[in-house]
Structure 1
């Protein structure tokens, strides 16, 4: 069964083009290491919550937009084998492909797919 890595972050709205370029460049590298699909979404209707929400989770500021993305892998095993190599790939190093957002507020996790309709 496939495996999914999910991400939520706050990106300065002024950095939208930089973010898209960063994500596109990184997506090509992830695919080389076995990712089947990379989806990057720019927040369009992401309301603030009263108890919790995407904006609250990433401490989104008024001049930022929430992004939501995920990578689909064939399996957790493929993902686990790829990750150490991805972290060492020079194309993903900050001096080559800098993150156009505060990585300290990035939320991420790996998920086993349980329903895929």
Structure 2
């Protein structure tokens, strides 16, 4: 079963989830106010640096975990984010600037090389 309030529908694969979100975001873009556009673009610009979100505030982070051969989207607690973040390559992280949230999803690039910790 999927996690409540994760945004993932029952039986929905990660591929279907991201496709549905992309469609929703296109609709949001069409109706976006100038103020919301500026906020979204600021979040997107910050996210391009791929820095781990703060343990105190900022973007929510979801992790996709394989349970019985099915990928389930789960919200990470803020104190878990830093531990998990470095286990994913940039190609396995997706940022949604409309909802201000990250997805850590290994199957997006299963053969990715995870960069070494560089404490910057």
Structure with the higher strand share, 1 or 2:
1
TM-score if structure 2 supplies the norm length? Answer: 0.27
TM-score if structure 1 supplies the norm length? Answer: 0.27
